[in-house]
């Protein structure tokens, strides 16, 4: 009986030693990866314009200099304004072997619908500075789980309808009102769709409607007349 107890005690001691040795080894391996400042780095981002949207492309390198695998790696970017998230994007990497690198491009896409849904309609017209928040989540050697946040970075915002203005040019007193619309598309996106302008009288009744097609590339000024069909002429 005493021999069995001694055997169990020895086995427990060996398991404890192996467990703590594994913890120390994985901890040192992870520290080696993090302390090199090369565990994760981003290259210079660039914009790619699309129809009514654009993408922010950020090349990255994930470098596992340790001896054990990274699992369930999630690289997440949030673009915020006044602490309100406009859009969020996540790049997922199932596994990264020890001693290996992963190169890729992390993409964040913003469209006009995102701005409206986030209550950021004013960003359609005004220049400002947004915040770029990035986080990295992963598990290491099936032992550690981490959630790391990088310092927030500024991101210049350029609106698609900068310096928007509208003025009446001519009214024939009967059926046609001519207005002049002006704005600058400073955003990387190509703005395409239909313009619908509704004009109301002082009593809040619909006075006329103007319709026009819009297809404006990035960096181009829109300065065009808009014909408004009058539903009911104004009475003196």
Q: The domain containing residue 210 runs over which residues? A: 162-230
Residue 236 domain-assigned? no
How far is it, in rounded angstroms, from Cα 196 to Cα 210?
A: 6
136 with 33, same domain: the answer is yes
Residue after which a domain boundary falls, among 138, 157, 176: 157
Residue 235 domain-assigned? no
pTM: 0.76
How many separate domains does the chain show?
2
Q: Residue 58's domain is classified under what CATH number? A: 2.60.40.10
Residue after which a domain boundary falls, among 157, 174, 200: 157
Which string of DSSP letters, residue by residue, matches the chain? -HHHHHHHHHHHHHHHHHHHHHHHHHHHHHHHHHHTT-SEEE---EEEEEBTEEEEEEEEEEEE-SSS-EEEEEEEEEEEETTEEEEEEEEEEEEE-TTEEEEEEEEEEEEHHHHHHTT-GGGGT--EEEEEEEEEEEEETTTEEEEEEPPPEEEEE--TTEEEEEEEEEE-SSSEEEEEEEEE--SSSBEEEEEEEEEE-TTS-EEEEEEEEEEE-TT-EEEEEEEEEESSPPP-
Burial letters 66-92, b for 16+ CB under 10 A, else e: bbbbbeebebbbbbbbeeeebbebebe
pLDDT per residue, tens digit, the chain (236 aa), is: 544 444 545 455 544 454 444 445 445 555 555 555 556 777 888 999 999 999 999 998 888 877 778 888 899 999 999 888 999 999 999 988 877 888 999 999 999 888 888 888 899 999 999 999 988 888 876 667 777 787 888 999 999 999 999 988 788 777 888 999 999 999 999 999 999 999 888 888 888 999 999 999 999 999 999 999 988 765 55
- How would you list the strands of the sheet with 206-216, edge to edge? 162-171, 176-184, 221-230, 206-216, 191-200
169 with 147, same domain: the answer is no
């Amino acid at each position: 009986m005493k021999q069995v107890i001694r055997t169990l005690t020895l086995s427990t001691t060996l398991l404890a030693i192996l467990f703590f040795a594994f913890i120390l080894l994985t901890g040192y391996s992870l520290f080696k990866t993090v302390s090199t400042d090369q565990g994760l780095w981003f290259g210079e981002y660039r914009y790619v314009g699309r129809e009514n949207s654009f993408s922010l492309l950020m090349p990255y390198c994930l470098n596992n200099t340790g001896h054990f695998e990274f699992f369930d790696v999630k690289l997440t970017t949030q673009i915020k304004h006044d602490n309100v998230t406009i859009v969020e994007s996540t790049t997922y990497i199932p596994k990264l072997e020890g001693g290996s690198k992963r190169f890729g491009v992390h993409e964040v896409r913003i469209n006009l619908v995102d701005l409206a849904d986030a209550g950021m309609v004013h960003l359609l017209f005004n220049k400002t500075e947004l915040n770029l928040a990035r986080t990295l989540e992963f598990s290491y050697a099936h032992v550690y789980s981490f959630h790391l946040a990088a310092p927030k970075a500024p991101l210049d915002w350029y609106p698609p309808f900068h310096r928007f203005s509208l003025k009446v040019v001519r009214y024939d007193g009967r059926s046609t009102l001519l207005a002049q619309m002006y704005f600058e598309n400073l955003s990387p996106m190509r703005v395409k769709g239909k313009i619908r302008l509704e004009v109301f009288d002082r009593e809040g009744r619909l006075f006329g409607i103007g319709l026009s097609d819009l297809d404006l590339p990035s960096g181009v000024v829109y300065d065009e007349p808009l014909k408004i069909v009058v539903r009911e002429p104004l009475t003196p």
